[in-house]
Amino acid sequence: AGLAYGQTVLARAAEAAGIEWDASQAHSAAYDAEITARLFCGVVNRCRGLYRGR
């Protein structure tokens, strides 16, 4: 997320990616994993064009 969104803190990266962040759920393993997965998908989708046709 740091490279794609310029943020390495999960809450800030989520905000930069347009993902709603619920501070009351932060640091719950399931919640953090869900947000991380959504960030990962966003990064992959943003970079998809770099890898087409390879």
**For the chain, domain boundaries:** 2-51
Question: CA–CA separation, 41 vs 21, rounded Å?
Answer: 16
Give percent of the chain above pLDDT 70. Answer: 96
Mean pLDDT of 26-33: 97
Pick the catalytic residue from 23, 27, 48, 51. Answer: 27
Q: Return the pLDDT at 47.
A: 85
Question: Residue 38, CB half-sphere, CA atoms under 13 Å: how many?
Answer: 17
Please indicate whether residue 27 is annotated as part of the active site.
yes
pTM of model > 0.85: no
Mean pLDDT of 5-20: 95
pLDDT at 53 over 70: no
Of 8, 51, 11, 7, the residue nearest 31 (C-alpha): 11
pLDDT at 36 over 80: yes
